[in-house]
Structure 1
């Protein structure tokens, strides 16, 4: 049954449109929130809202949240590159614009749906819309990702990720030059209070540890190798932004949009370059690597040539 929920409006969202504020605070898409307003299923301080309303600070919003639709995996017409496959696991090179699995807030293709469409038989462990998915990469992040095909592999890989027994190596092109040029960031991460679709460093967040080392410095930017000790949502992006060195192209977390436009980047410069783990059946350590995709390689070359100046 639909659920009626209540949300107090923080100062930072005062004056914004009702559908925009509801979307930010509920995590629902803006179109879903707009439809609720249109049907008279949203209220501001008890009064039925209209689509042109802008919300005042301190008001209490209410919305009748519809039952979630069933989440069906969505395949990509372009398919996906498989770096390795056996009876237990499949390792893919996830492209940009593809989610790990279907979700309410993303309507594009996902890894799960693409593998299923290609005839890959995945474990039935886990929720139906996430079967076989043991870790995720952001929609805009590319590179190595492993999916479990057998039930034994699913259990073993989930345990390995939980126990931090997986090698996760990323390359990130960040603005500026971190000081020091190598180090460890230990800063807890949780949901941003004002924008629910973002994450932020906050005292009551979950412990998060990121190790980084500069591989190359160029005018206005640094290429870093980043190793994750924990695996929080948007962890690298949040930690780099907290250091005032956001990933190039990551406008959501404070990157220079002018630079993004000059480079032709529509996403963060972040790539899961290497993934290693103990094979769930053989016990042998296996590792896989994914090359930079064309947009990241081209923008890196442009930065080396001084486009930042």
Structure 2
């Protein structure tokens, strides 16, 4: 068959993503010829798969949230949203009903089941403070197709970050292993036991105080860009978690990180789609500070 078991399973309409397929395998809900398997198992001709999909766990119901959304593209399979800073992507502790998912429900937009009852349609996430582009799946087939591209790291994602100082060299690759900080549990840090994280960066403009850095994600770990730039000595302006304790001369009203471009293959047409978003108004003073002499 050629495909790994987890890849084969997520092609089934009942399984929304490779993550869900891997969890089913790890929970021994997938048997091949009566035996448990690993996600990397390669199916053979004549294999008999027995798959048990448990019902979704009980949880709080999703309530609609009347919040204006900037939808820059929509069709029957997906939509692309330009998320503002301050909006949480899906319900979590402290944010039960004021999230992007709740706002999508308020508009009556159909969403895929996703990998969790509180995360319908969510293929990937942005931090609450980060603005920019997100793709949302409207059905399970689209969710599975898009999730596979994220797993294969074929999604194109560029971020713009305004940072303190100037990274050296002006372009390069930051590679480390990220895990939750051993002391500050809200933070992540580079640690030997973490997950591999790779960020490609290029300094687009700098002066004696700040720089505009373009980052391309090869992996997509939690807080990846924020940690990598901070550990390089150039924290993102306005970052309450990874910024320095001492006040800095240049201030930002929010985390100065914006998901600027997003490119992927469409699940139905198989054509490449590419989207770009302008910097939000609150970050323009930082842009003008760098480019005022041009």
1:224 aligns with 2:207: no
Give how far 1:127 is off.
1.4
User: What residue ranges of structure 2 are gaps of 5+ in the alignment?
Assistant: 1-56
When residues 199 and 108 of structure 1 are mapped into structure 2, their CA distance, relative to the original with a 3 A threshold, is: farther
Q: Is the 8 A contact 1:74 1:110 kept in 2?
A: no
CA contact (8 A) 1:82 1:92 kept: yes
Which residue in the other structure is 1:116 paired with?
105
Residue aligning to 2:184: 195
Q: Give the superposition deviation at 1:299.
A: 3.3
- TM-score of the aligned structures, taking structure 1 as reference length: 0.72
Shift in Å at residue 129 of structure 1?
A: 0.3
Tell me which protein shows more helix as a share of its residues: 1
Superposition deviation, residue 302 in structure 1: 4.2
2:251 corresponds to 1:263: yes
Q: Mind listing any 5+ residue stretches in structure 1 that lack a counterpart?
A: 1-67
1:1-309 paired onto structure 2 within 5 Å: 70-73=59-62, 76-106=65-95, 109-255=98-244, 258-259=247-248, 263-265=251-253, 267-302=254-289
**Cα contact 1:219–1:303 (8 A) shared by 2:** no
Residue 67 of structure 2: SS of its match in structure 1? coil
Alignment check: 8 A CA contact 1:75 1:110 kept: no
The number of residue pairs the alignment matches comes to 237
Tell me: CA distance 1:292–1:255, structure 2 relative to 1, closer, same or farther (3 Å).
farther
| 1:126 Cα deviation from its structure 2 partner | 2.4
Change (3 A) 1:257 1:295: farther
TM-score of the aligned structures, taking structure 2 as reference length: 0.75
Q: Measured at CA, do residues 167 and 107 of structure 1 come closer, stay the same or move farther in structure 2, by a change above 3 Å?
A: same
Q: For 1:237-289, what per-residue CA distance to the aligned partner results, in whole angstroms no more than 9, with x for missing partners?
A: 000011010001113102466338x6351x21100000000001110000111
Given that 2:121 and 2:143 are in contact with CA atoms closer than 8 Å, whether structure 1 keeps it comes out as yes
